[in-house]
Homo-oligomer: A and B are copies of this chain.
Amino acid sequence: MTRYALVVEYDGRPFMGWQRQDHGPSVQASLEDAVHRMTGETVAVHAAGRTDAGVHATAMRAHLDLDRHIDPFRLAEGLNALVRPDPIAVIGCVAVPDDWHARFSCVGRRYRYRIVNRRAPLTFDRGLAWRVPDPLDAAAMHEAAQRLVGRHDFTTFRSAHCQADSPLRTLDRLDVTRHGDEVVVIAAARSFLHHQVRSMVGCLALVGRGRWSADDLAGALAARDRAALGHNAPPDGLYFTEAVYPTSTSAAAG
């Protein structure tokens, strides 16, 4: 058996999410079906994060096991040919030790959230960013965001469907910067609750529009109550951008 680590980029628009679903297309099913057609083997492809419907990834990490050894470059090329026309690209592929696990070995996850802050509707970025027509004060958003950094009970920012045992998470970084008419939020943590990034971004947008103060945001966190959530941002702007592993060598892209 050989274990392969993949770096996968995907446009989440046509998918029900990463995870295989009965009722619609998923990134996982597309990859697993491609592996089966290429090798005849029925495998599970495990990811560092199970993104929701409409959420994207620029560098999802995943792994799979094959009985027959295949050159990693050939595996990536074959999968890229077979997932067509799904908007999935294997941009890295290496053989890794058998105990390397895309999800359980992962010690850090990073997301980027793209807001396009303008009146006009989106063209190229439709489904790839959240358009907010009201002017956003990105500096105020960044300042308020620092109230969420650290170890907290994030119940307010957690979906009702979240399956995590505990609502406690340590948010390492939540940065908001403006680049022209784009406001970008970077979130980093060991792991996130379900909908946590979108819920934080939705509330930060309320701060950016002047509807909430930084104290309102801190109050929502302290409430530890989903009903205190101001707004949940749409999946369109969310990208899984990085997974961190203890030994960088074993997770390196091919």
Contact = CB atoms under 8 A, between A and B. Distances in A.
Nearest to A81: B121
Given A77-B119, A119-B77, A87 B124 contact: yes
Contact of A91 (B77, B80, B118): B118
Contact of A76 (B9, B89, B90, B120): B120
A11 B126 CA distance: 10
Interface string A9-25: 11100000000000000
A188 interface: no
Contacts of A87: 122-124, 126
A11 B76 CA distance: 30
A84 B124 contact: no
Q: How many copies does the complex hold?
A: 2
Interface string A52-88: 0000100000000000000000001100100010011
A128 interface: yes
Nearest to A181: B91
A25 to B, nearest CB: 14
Interface string A101-132: 00000000000000000111111101010000
- Name the residue among A77, A84, A88, A123 with the largest chain B CB count within 10 angstroms: A123
B91 A9 contact: no
Contact of A84 (B56, B119, B121): B121
Contacts of A124: 9, 11, 56, 87, 128
Contacts of A121: 80, 84, 89
A91 B120 contact: yes
17 contacts: A9-B120, A9-B124, A10-B123, A11-B124, A11-B126, A56-B124, A76-B120, A77-B119, A80-B121, A87-B122, A87-B124, A87-B126, A89-B120, A89-B122, A89-B123, A90-B120, A91-B118
Interface of A: 9-11, 56, 76-77, 80, 84, 87-91, 118-124, 126, 128
- Closest 8 CB pairs between A and B? A89-B120, A87-B123, A11-B123, A91-B120, A11-B124, A89-B123, A9-B123, A89-B121
